[in-house]
Structure 1
Amino acid sequence: MKPYLERVPPSPDASWSMLNRRLDDGIPFQWHHHPELELTLTLNSRGHRFIGDHVGTFDGIDLVLVGSNLPHTWSSSEKLDPTLPHVALVVWFRQEWIEAITKSSVELGAVAALVAGAGTGLRFSKASAIALADDFERLFELPAPERLLAMLAILNRLAYDAEAEPLSSEALVPMERDAGAERIDRVLTHIHQSYAREIRLEELAGIAALSVSGTHRLFRRHMRATISDYIIRLRIGDACARLSGTNQPIQHIASAIGYGSFANFNRHFRRLRGMSPRDYRAKFRS
């Protein structure tokens, strides 16, 4: 369940991208990340949502904003209406792009605050999802200039959703983009591809083209976490997905996500989830 770096296809007539995804067989589990923020409206589908180290359920309609480079996926279990497809309406946009727009427009201050707080991922209320569903569908029918204005209007309305709920742990979230952005992207990509095995600090330093201490400082500046804590949270997030979505034995899960010591796995899981892996599986399924 290693997340892969997804390359979002650019739009020929817009500065952001979108996808109208309709699937008969369900939304597949595809654990991935990308530099773009992602706003996804899911319709006519029931299943599980995985955002960073968050695991939750969705039922019928789900509206979520995913932060930059935050690993995520949805996974369907069934349709609500079997005669219609599973639907995922997806919008991607770069943080630098939306920040440039909001910084030059005081009217969009609420949108700026929304984007600034989206790094952990945000699940919006069902009421907001229902109210905006038709507007979201219409995005795919509008010409590019009107589409931009309609998308900004959607973001502005979401910015006032008082029931919006943060999802993942703050420690998983890139906090800034600066001259070291390309270095941290390379390091994150390697960690996301390799966290289920031992990753040596010298290995990451070589990828960042920095010293070990310089790589530590780069990581803490961008991620507000140590490298080891970031890897632990990725591993426990993977464990949560496996505990909730598979029947794999718990010891097998611990080994598969990189724990040679079952005791360490239990200790880290309790620290981050407040319960044992066995209790988590039982509570989630109940």
Structure 2
Amino acid sequence: MKPFLEHIKTSKDSSWVLFDRRLPAIPFEWHYNSEYELTLTLNSRGQRFIGDNISRYDVGDLVLIGPKIPHTWCSSEDVCKEREHQALVLWFSDAFVKGMIDPHVELRPIRRLLERSSRALTFSEPVREKAREIICAMVGQGAGPRLTGLLNVLLLLAEDAGSEPLASEANQSESFAEATEERIGKVISHLHGHYRDEMVVEKLVKVGALSRSSLHRLFKRQTRMTMGMYVAHLRVGHACALLLNSEKPIAVIADEVGYGNLANFNRQFRGLKGQTPREFRRAVTS
């Protein structure tokens, strides 16, 4: 797994980033960004996991994700076999928002849109289609026209009465001093790389360079859940991807995501998803 905290670097001639990502398949890789993220997915179908939300996505899927919301896409098939899965990803920072958007009264609708993105947002089909045209055109443009395109897209999304939140309110995180956030980020990154293993608190104390009590307290403030529950979300989230995209037996999937006991896996899966793994697989593949 890649590190949980994904660092985004801007180029010298731009204050934000447009990334044209093309892959044979989009892998399941949980991460979060410090930036706002707008992702347009092309030539791909599968599932997206954003916070505590799991949904199917299709060609033209468009999602706006606020900072620090864990997310990933996981493809199940491409649409055109001759082309790769494609995601056009737009990243811009809070500093960009404060410098470019906040000073201008005409752009206040964008600020309100970004405030709502703390739960991640999906958009109506007509708006997605218009946004897709603008974003795809931006790929071949210079820095100036791209900036205009970004503002036009955000204004378009801000006016969409059909936009809907994805993640629950409980999934929103709290801001910390940079040093503290870095320590909790190391712990979270470690959990994402070792969630299949037994969780050893003493190891996490060393990873985060925190006392045991501070680790529990700060982790819960950052993620709105205990470390044990966080690991359960990771395991069940990955199990969902395997249930949807493979024909592996449920017992094998349980073992692969860290459950040596099938009954415990079924119990935690039902507790988080409201149905058994078998019911989940049947519901989404029927």
Name the TM-score, length of structure 1 as normaliser: 0.86
Render the CA deviation track for 1:26-67: whole Å, top value 9, x for unaligned.
Answer: 433241424233211122333333334433322321111234
Q: Which residue of 2 aligns with 1:242?
A: 242
The Cα shift of 1:279 comes to: 0.4
Against the structure 1 CA distance between its residues 162 and 194, is the aligned structure 2 distance closer, same or farther, given a 3 Å change threshold?
farther
Q: Which residue of 2 aligns with 1:162?
A: 161
Is 1:259–1:265's contact at 8 Å kept on the other side of the alignment? yes
Is 1:50–1:241's contact at 8 Å kept on the other side of the alignment? no
The Cα shift of 1:99 comes to: 4.9
Render the CA deviation track for 1:56-106: whole Å, top value 9, x for unaligned.
Answer: 322321111234341302415131x56665432111223454355444445
Q: Which residue of 2 aligns with 1:174?
A: 173
Q: Which residue of 2 aligns with 1:17?
A: 17
- Match of 1:73, SS? strand
Q: Which residue of 1 aligns with 2:31?
A: 33
Render the CA deviation track for 1:129-183: whole Å, top value 9, x for unaligned.
Answer: 1011111122223332342232123123213323323334555553324342211
Name the TM-score, length of structure 2 as normaliser: 0.86
Against the structure 1 CA distance between its residues 279 and 159, is the aligned structure 2 distance closer, same or farther, given a 3 Å change threshold?
same
CA distance in 2, matches of 1:220, 1:100: 32
CA distance in 2, matches of 1:245, 1:257: 14
CA distance in 2, matches of 1:56, 1:162: 20
Q: Which amino acid aligns with 1:44?
A: N
Moved more, 194-203 or 168-177: 168-177
Is 1:242–1:253's contact at 8 Å kept on the other side of the alignment? yes
> Percent identity between the aligned chains?
39
CA distance in 1, matches of 2:196, 2:99: 37
The Cα shift of 1:285 comes to: 0.4
CA distance in 2, matches of 1:46, 1:137: 18
Moved more, 102-111 or 61-70: 102-111
CA distance in 2, matches of 1:60, 1:253: 28
RMSD of aligned Cα (Å): 2.6
CA distance in 1, matches of 2:248, 2:84: 30
Moved more, 194-203 or 51-60: 51-60
CA distance in 1, matches of 2:233, 2:22: 32
Q: Which residue of 1 aligns with 2:87?
A: 88
CA distance in 2, matches of 1:247, 1:95: 42
Q: Does 1:127 align with 2:163?
A: no
Moved more, 198-207 or 47-56: 47-56
CA distance in 1, matches of 2:100, 2:176: 16
Is 1:3–1:71's contact at 8 Å kept on the other side of the alignment? no
CA distance in 2, matches of 1:133, 1:214: 45
The Cα shift of 1:9 comes to: 4.4
Q: Which amino acid aligns with 2:148?
A: L
In structure 1, list runs of 5 or more residues that go unmatched. Answer: none
Q: Which residue of 2 aligns with 1:150?
A: 149
The Cα shift of 1:222 comes to: 1.8
CA distance in 1, matches of 2:3, 2:71: 8
The Cα shift of 1:225 comes to: 1.8
Q: Which amino acid aligns with 2:157?
A: L
